[in-house]
Structure 1
């Protein structure tokens, strides 16, 4: 059952950036790709997908940074907390990192994305689907992290 009245709150470490999110996320997944690993400083993350119109930032808005063509990452300029990203290959979507959410226990992942980039010592006992690349249909013209990884070597 979809709860259109659901409201979640997200905030950065220092509290400067606060967002309210209305409604259900459309997708939640583990992400093992190397670009996200570098950007977040973590072996993996969980991304929570919302439509951009579901998210409203209070008072302050996140700063942005882009190293990857088509991907614009957001963060707090004061404390450095990662907030999320938007991707030209996934129009009108905003992906929030689980670490930004005030109640992360409410967001259960549905799949593993970029399983092919999973670090060898990271283990999971779940039976969630695993895909070697993106977990959602994305415009291939924007690029792919597995291609970028080969270019860096």
Structure 2
């Protein structure tokens, strides 16, 4: 599959303290979870909307509407990344307790290509290997 669009969904709580720069840089520099995308892949990010993540439904509906109106990109050409702040145990807090619910919403909106993670901190990865942070995948 040729991915034409990447959507990064960030934790709304984390977004209160995070600019999203590391995820954005990783996308544009094609590192971490974005290393296999080509230079023509487009990118957008938004938050889950807050716990429990139910606002993802309306945000994806809005994205889908604009995608259809202004592009020829199909939903199967879109990958949804649940940011590392949502999908991993890290220094700030554990994995999002609503992650499976979010995946159900994303699937219900017609998006099947879901990736857990965006940026992979070397320090956090070492702590996962030591068992200090939990592993989920």
What is the TM-score normalised by the length of structure 1? 0.26
Higher relative contact order (CA 8 A, sep 6+): 2
Normalising to structure 2: TM-score of the pair?
0.28
Between Structure 1 and Structure 2, the one with more helix by share is 2
Richer in strand (by share) = 1
